[in-house]
Amino acid sequence: MDTPLTNLFSPTSGGDRPRVAIIQKSDGLLTWCKDLASAFNEAGAITLAANCRPSTLGERWIRHTKNQRLLMNPATSRRLAIILGAFAPDLVVFLNFPSLPEQAAALLRQSLGPGVPMVGWLCDSVDALPMGHDALLDAVYYFDSASLPTLREHYRGSPAKLEFLPLAANPLRYACRPIQLADRQPRLVFAGNCTPSRQRFAAEMRNLGQPLDLYGLHAGNWPQFWRNRKLSSAALAQVYQQYLLNLNLLQTGNTTNGLNLRAFEIPCAGGLATYPAVPDLARCFTPDEEVLVFQSAEDLAEIVRSLLREPERALAITLAGHRRVLREHTFYHRACRLLDDALGPAFRPAIPPYLAASP
């Protein structure tokens, strides 16, 4: 059983603290679950995190013999039901689940108190529900509007809420140093998984005469092999702060209209972010005032040349993007939204010191 995370702050309204259970598919490479759990704690909740990775002999046996994964595995559903029954949450959040298998949903609801909402929050765009799943969540929060037609089709006739909820950043993980652009490298950088589609875009930029440095898995830097690895959050923050401009590219199949985590992490750390022109961008940032928006490699190359001629504009955009993230786009803000939707005005969250002191 996963151990409940330690509470950091108390709610300002007094009384019982809400209890939030977070269910994720596996620990994975992202820090999404840890950051959201910490944010719930900052707001005053008691948080427990559990995952669907097989952790008992029975779960592993069913996974191996019947290839039943995640919540399709009845042994995993039973384990999670026991965890939820013992924890008695007021809210259950399923990370990157747009739906649930019927057997798992019934078992989990039996372990909860009456009326406890089970909601999903997506970080991948979806064009279909997973095989064997039904529209059985009380709410689904999507980060990418491209998912909405699929969700509407499957949740037609259901009272479930379908709500836009962007991803976010953790200011303690992506800490910002004083923003001074004079000592930054006057060029473009991409830090992340350098997939083939991203490598092709990098080649386009270089063919246009625009220098572009790559950091991360498959970056292909030789002899600077230390750049060809997965970077920690602290290392990513340093890269974002070392360059004048940070390139952000979508991952094919994961994001269509929305903003990925990097869109918030770059300005959170004090970097100047770029992002492809997508429909959801203006719902989170003011284009070309808080983030630089490009249509193509040619367009981005011209933007870079322009910013090199206007360092004061580069500084203004960097500062504005950082302030916007701290004002609206931290995991604390997302945790408060989920708590407010589930519990209403009865719970008033605490404010963490790093936000109370932010500009």
- Unique residue bearing structure tokens 């303690």: 172
Report the C-alpha gap between 33 and 119 in whole angstroms: 14
CB 98 within 8 A of CB 125: no
Q: What is the three-class DSSP state of 292?
A: strand
Report the C-alpha gap between 29 and 232 in whole angstroms: 10
CB 97 within 8 A of CB 123: no
**Is the confidence at residue 1, as pLDDT, over 50?**
no
**Is the confidence at residue 5, as pLDDT, over 60?**
no
Class of domain 19-168+330-356: alpha beta
End-to-end CA distance of the chain: 40
CB 108 within 8 A of CB 81: yes
Per-residue pLDDT of 158-196, as tens digits, reads 999 999 999 999 999 999 988 888 889 999 999 988 888
CB 118 within 8 A of CB 158: no
Q: At 51, give phi and psi (nearest 5°).
A: -135, 170
**Which residue, 289, 315, 190, is CA-closest to 247?**
190
**Is the confidence at residue 49, as pLDDT, over 60?**
yes
pLDDT band, very low/low/confident/very high, at 13 (cuts 50, 70, 90): very low
Q: Which helix (H) or strand (E) holds 91?
A: strand 91-95
- Residue 109's CB is within 10 A of a number of other CB atoms, namely 18
Query: CATH 3.40.50.2000 in the chain, residues?
Result: 19-168+330-356, 185-328
Report the C-alpha gap between 99 and 40 in whole angstroms: 23
Q: At 40, give phi and psi (nearest 5°).
A: -60, -40
Report the C-alpha gap between 66 and 218 in whole angstroms: 34
- Residue 292's beta-bridge partner residues? 274
Per-residue pLDDT of 289-304, as tens digits, reads 999 999 999 999 999 9
**Is the confidence at residue 3, as pLDDT, over 50?**
no
Higher-confidence residue of 44 and 220: namely 44
pLDDT band, very low/low/confident/very high, at 222 (cuts 50, 70, 90): confident
pLDDT value of position 14: 40
Topology of domain 185-328, CATH: Rossmann fold (3.40.50)
CB 129 within 8 A of CB 109: no
CB 270 within 8 A of CB 295: no
**Is the confidence at residue 283, as pLDDT, over 90?**
yes
Least confident of 141-150, 230-239, 340-349: 340-349
Higher-confidence residue of 344 and 13: namely 344
Structure tokens, 189: 């950088």
Report the C-alpha gap between 268 and 31 in whole angstroms: 15
Work out the average pLDDT over 49-66. Answer: 87
Report the C-alpha gap between 4 and 200 in whole angstroms: 44
pLDDT band, very low/low/confident/very high, at 68 (cuts 50, 70, 90): confident
pLDDT value of position 307: 92
Per-residue pLDDT of 102-158, as tens digits, reads 999 999 999 999 999 999 999 999 999 999 999 999 999 999 999 999 999 999 999
Mean pLDDT of the chain: 89
pLDDT value of position 357: 63
**Is the confidence at residue 28, as pLDDT, over 70?**
no
Rounded to two decimals, what is the model's pTM?
0.91
**Is the confidence at residue 8, as pLDDT, over 50?**
no
Report the C-alpha gap between 248 and 293 in whole angstroms: 10
CB 194 within 8 A of CB 214: yes
